[in-house]
Amino acid sequence: MKMVFTECEIISKGEVESPSKNQPFPSLGRQTSIYSLTLDEFQNTLCESGKNFGSMNMDEFLSSIWTAEENQNQNSNPATTTSNSNNLQLLASEQLSLTRQGSLTLPPPLCQKTVEEVWSEIHKSQQEQPPNGGDSNNNVDQNPGSAQRQLTIGEMTLEDFLVRAGVVREQCNVGPSSQQQYGSYQNNNNPGVGPSFVSRPMMSLGGGGSGGNINMPTYQTLPQGSVGGVGASSGYMGNGKRSGGGYTPSSSMVCYSGRVGNASGGGGGAGYGPVQGLGMGSPVSPVSSDGMCVSQVDEMNQYGMDMVGMRGGRKRIIDGPVEKVVERRQRRMIKNRESAARSRARKQAYTVELEAELNQLKEENAQLKHALHYIVYMGTHSLPNSEAVISSNHELLASVVGSVGDAHQATVHHYHKSFRGFSAMLTPEQANQIEKSDSVISVFESTLHKLHTTRSWEFMQATGNHSIFSNFAVYGDYDVIIGHMDSGIWPEAPSFDPSGLGPVPSRFKGECVTGENFYSWHCNRKLIGARYYYEGFERSVGPLESIGRKFYRSSRDDFGHGSHTASTAAGSLVTNIPFIRGTSTQIARGGAPNARLAIYKVCWFNYCSISDIMKAFDDAIHDKVDLITISVGAKPNQNMVYTNDGFSIAAFHAFTNGILTSASAGNDGLLGSFTVENSAPWTLTVAASSISRDFVSTVQLGNGIAFEGYGINRFQTNGYYGVIAAGYAALNGVSTEAASFCKENTLNIERIRGKIVVCSMKNEVNDVVEEKAKVVAAGGGVGIILVDGNGLETIYENSIPTCVINQQGARSLQDYLFSTREPMARISRSMEKLNTKHPMVASFSSKGPDKLTPESIKPDITAPGVNILAAWPSFSLTNNVNAPTFHVDSGTSMACPHVSGVAAMVKALHPNWSPAEIKSALMTTAKQFDDTGEPIRSIMGLATPFDMGSGHLDPNAALNPGLVYDMGKEDVFYFLCDHGINERMLQNIFGGTTYCPRQTRPYDLNLPSIGINNLNGGTSVSRRVTYRGKENDPTVFEVEIEHPEGVYVEVHPNVLDFSDGQETKTFMVNFYVRENLGRPSYGYLTWYNRVHTVRSPIAIINVA
């Protein structure tokens, strides 16, 4: 018998030789193998008891052989490769070892037949063939005894059975015709064959298909003229139809395939024949993967077929005694096992390497999970250029993260233009380590700030014949540039029309950064620059896309807040605004209508990262803006100091570069004292107050009674609808009280559908009308009446008619609801109504004192922030598609740009004034009385300096304050000395050599207000003022004191005379406790003459 080995079993020339290569191998006898056993022996000795292989199908039978073979190999101890005898035994046992494969590798007819059925076919085919002779190409068993008596199935060896069944193959004996040479071919007058082609015997490999396939015994002679299919159909018949592949042999031959296709066969297998192409079918057996005789394989290679590609590897025939076969194979196997050992070693090393990399990645991932977004503040820009700052930042960061490459990856922002620092993703341990550097002032976590979310100018009398607008226009001498930091801008809004403006100021160094739906042409002489920042937000929150809301990745406003505040500060004059039908035509303008706007979008979805804000400040200072307006903030915390508060740091560097920062105070006033935000002394902090315009709606009840409420309704309910109190529409499990506030998931929609719902307001910051209206509208309600006992100050435009009523209206409504079983009502369209008793400090406006420095009275000033009409995106992603171009909104966000606009006007008139002087002019000229001449009030009573600062903004008076309280870097330096900031930090902040005096007091900071935290017995405070009167204005000022309760105040000197030409004078204020109150006390210090009134508030937090 001749053995067949695959190409992969031949050792490659370049492989390392075995240590036993040169050792002689002993002569080998045929070793014991399960394949030399008869089927009876195999049944009795190796198969599981109780199993009868005769009834098994071939698939199960092969599985039994594999199991028995594995058991025998294990018993032969194949792991011992150093012993030649063991190796030989192993090789002998593997001599006919079958490669384990799935049953699908056998032809379906064979794998499903039982062993007895296969034996019957073998027996039948032997009887049909002549015992001797026959065609020379027939590969027939030549055992002489077979003619006298056929072996029974039990007497046949396992090897012979597998060969005859077609599972294991022998070499075919090919006749002389197979030795012919072949080239381009022609055969049997078949036009599909080339002229020089000589036919050649070939077996069928067809694995299936219908259309003429002939099912034949496994051990069969192909009839002359038949065509066997090889694999899938790939040839074409003369009629153009696709058929099974194959080749028409010139003489019959023997093969082991289970199916043979004829010349007209279709679809069975691709083949090679007179009219067919070449393909490859399913393998016939696990060992003989193609079912071909070996000689035919070599012959097919002579046709130019790539049998390696067809059969997964070329087969090699080895002739000779079995001893030689086993000896050669033993050598190959030793080398193969050594090669496998080397491969396993390499694989193990590679696995170890991968595991190490994996562990490293796990550690890095764990660090990233614990990494936070930190800001590293390093003080004043001291290096020669921005590139040097960035390089130095990377070197410092690399010292804690491992490498410069890692530093690049960790960095979020570099602050390199106006001050030095960076923000990066760091673990707390890395942050602590980097903070130890001498060049670092502070390291703190980047936090999210929140947006503090217009007849107002007429209300402040800024539009008359002798007003700020009529007597001054920013056209010629100095063009003010307002840096606006918010949610972006809607450039098409009419408030940003550039008509009438001159060229962009040459000093401006900013850019117009394009982005989504924002192009270079959107910048003009009004909107002279635009930048946007999102990196810090995404590091803190995640990608913008992950929020699940639409947005513009550009400077375009996708929230509305930015356009509203920008137009309030610097919007162009817009007339004839049809806001609400039936009301007077509205006019909108900004505080500085001819000022330029540089846009810095730092807010996304109502939130703003402080690292992005600091980057915007760094750019804005470099861009040469004149002032910055920003209506965002974060709640103060107990651990905050000025050197770890990003907003304070950024505003400080703006201040030292001559830029005033105007910021909103926050909307947490209902939480009480110590809620003010953005409270650094060098910042102008703005509270919110009301104006004299209200929008009223009428509620008409079914019994004829009507009462007024407040709301912005562009439409009204169509007729009367049923009315239900929300408490009576509670969901199961929700209390009546909880349902009365109309919160989400509290109302039974079946009970409120088609009705007007009466809801209550809670005395909470986060209890807003808009959310209640959304809940009612989502449940099918047609209108909402809200009962609010806090003053009805804030109203919004909602998707359903909304009316906010006071307690008096609520009592009338309650009486009606109890008087009838079917209450009905309707809500009218809103009307404009002018009011007196304004301004009034808004209940939501955050209050002082400042947590960090109580001696610094905060807020500084109040301005209109309730129901302010200003620009809005015409297509807002957060509102209806046809949203109005103007919108009413409330908050300290709306108050801040009012002050910013007037500050821009003061800057335009006095371009050389410092930020502190502009701030002083606004504060010392503010009003403390309402339209009726009464003191301004809040919801708690008379407003205090911790409610409204110096008072309500007076735009006209601010242009000519008479005296100002100036403050520079030196004043701030001494102030910071008192706050425990060491000299090394101060040196980095201010540059150069610094020295803190032994004693400093926070209330000595030259502010236009005086605050004392704990007054025990008495103290003295110094102040200095600078004369800023016009030519011909009086130069002598006298003092007037409104003494705080329980305290006596005296001023030395009590007259200031600037007629001597000296611009700056200093005075002392002495405080004496007369009565121990144990509570705050307030008063005023005023310098006055016939033209000017310069008023400063006094607040003593505790009189002891």
Where do the domains of the chain lie?
A: 31-168, 169-319, 371-445, 455-462+482-690+840-959, 693-834, 1006-1103
Residue whose C-alpha is closest to residue 1026's, from 965, 938, 943:
965
pLDDT band at 897; cut points 50, 70, 90? very high
Mean pLDDT is lowest, of 302-311, 733-742, 1004-1013, for 302-311
Q: Distance between CA 549 and CA 596 in Å, rounded?
A: 31
Residue 247 confidence (pLDDT) above 60: no
Q: Distance between CA 409 and CA 400 in Å, rounded?
A: 13
Q: Quote the pLDDT of residue 765.
A: 55
**CATH topology for 371-445?**
Alpha-Beta Plaits (3.30.70)
Residue whose C-alpha is closest to residue 684's, from 667, 710, 662:
662
**Burial profile 286-299: b = 16 or more Cβ within 10 angstroms, e = fewer:** bbbbbbbbbbbbbb
Q: Quote the pLDDT of residue 361.
A: 77
Percentage helix, strand, coil for the chain under 3-state DSSP, each rounded to 5: 30, 20, 50
Mean pLDDT, residues 925-942: 92
845 vs 454, which has greater pLDDT? 845
Residue 962 confidence (pLDDT) above 60: yes
Q: What is the pLDDT of residues 483-506, one digit of tens each?
A: 999 999 999 999 999 998 999 999
138 burial (CB, 10 Å; 0-12 / 13-18 / 19+) is: middle
Q: What is the pLDDT of residues 426-451, one digit of tens each?
A: 999 999 999 999 999 999 999 888 88
DSSP for 100-156? P--GGGS-HHHHTSBHHHHHHHHHHHHHHS-SS---TT------GGGTT-PPPTTTS
Q: What is the pLDDT of residues 67-119, one digit of tens each?
A: 776 666 655 544 443 444 443 343 334 444 444 433 335 666 667 778 777 87
Q: Quote the pLDDT of residue 530.
A: 97
| Pair 723, 821: CB distance under 8 Å | no
Q: Would the CATH topology of 371-445 be identical to that of 455-462+482-690+840-959?
A: no
| Pair 206, 258: CB distance under 8 Å | no
Q: Quote the pLDDT of residue 109.
A: 67
278 vs 353, which has greater pLDDT? 353
Three-state DSSP class for residue 364? helix
Q: Distance between CA 759 and CA 781 in Å, rounded?
A: 12
Q: What are phi and psi of 423, to 5 degrees?
A: -125, 145
256 vs 784, which has greater pLDDT? 784
pLDDT band at 366; cut points 50, 70, 90? low
Percent of the chain with pLDDT over 70: 70
Residue 960 confidence (pLDDT) above 70: yes
Q: Quote the pLDDT of residue 789.
A: 61
**Burial profile 177-201: b = 16 or more Cβ within 10 angstroms, e = fewer:** bbeeeeeebbbeebebbeeebebbb
Pick the CATH number of 693-834 from 1.10.3720.10, 3.50.30.30, 1.10.10.10, 3.40.190.10: 3.50.30.30
Residue whose C-alpha is closest to residue 380's, from 966, 973, 995, 1002:
973
Residue 993, token pair as written in the block: 């050599």
147 burial (CB, 10 Å; 0-12 / 13-18 / 19+) is: exposed
175 burial (CB, 10 Å; 0-12 / 13-18 / 19+) is: middle
Q: Distance between CA 1032 and CA 320 in Å, rounded?
A: 130
Q: Distance between CA 673 and CA 943 in Å, rounded?
A: 13
Q: How many CA atoms lie within 13 A of 652 on its CB side?
A: 26
Q: Quote the pLDDT of residue 999.
A: 72
Q: What are phi and psi of 1102, to 5 degrees?
A: -145, 120
Q: What is the pLDDT of residues 759-801, one digit of tens each?
A: 988 766 567 777 888 899 999 999 999 887 655 456 667 788 8
Distance of CA 738 to the CA centre of its chain: 36
Residue 934 confidence (pLDDT) above 80: yes
For helices 428-435 and 386-401, the axis angle rounded to 10 degrees is 120
| Pair 675, 846: CB distance under 8 Å | yes
Q: What are the residue numbers of the active site?
A: 486, 561, 893
Residue 201, token pair as written in the block: 């015997």
Distance of CA 996 to the CA centre of its chain: 46
Residue 981 confidence (pLDDT) above 60: yes
Instruction: Name the DSSP class of 489.
Output: B
Residue 625, token pair as written in the block: 């803006």
**CATH topology for 455-462+482-690+840-959?**
Rossmann fold (3.40.50)
Which of left, alpha, beta for 582 (phi over 0: left; psi -120 to 50: alpha)? left
161 vs 619, which has greater pLDDT? 619
Determine whether domain 1006-1103 maps to CATH 2.60.40.2310: yes
Residue 566 confidence (pLDDT) above 80: yes
Residue 446, token pair as written in the block: 């980047």
Q: Distance between CA 246 and CA 752 in Å, rounded?
A: 80
Show the beta-strand stretches assigned E in 905-1035: 937-938, 941-942, 962-964, 1010-1015, 1018-1028
Q: Quote the pLDDT of residue 117.
A: 79
Residue 894 confidence (pLDDT) above 90: yes
Q: Distance between CA 626 and CA 619 in Å, rounded?
A: 13
Length of the chain as a residue count = 1104
pLDDT band at 289; cut points 50, 70, 90? very low
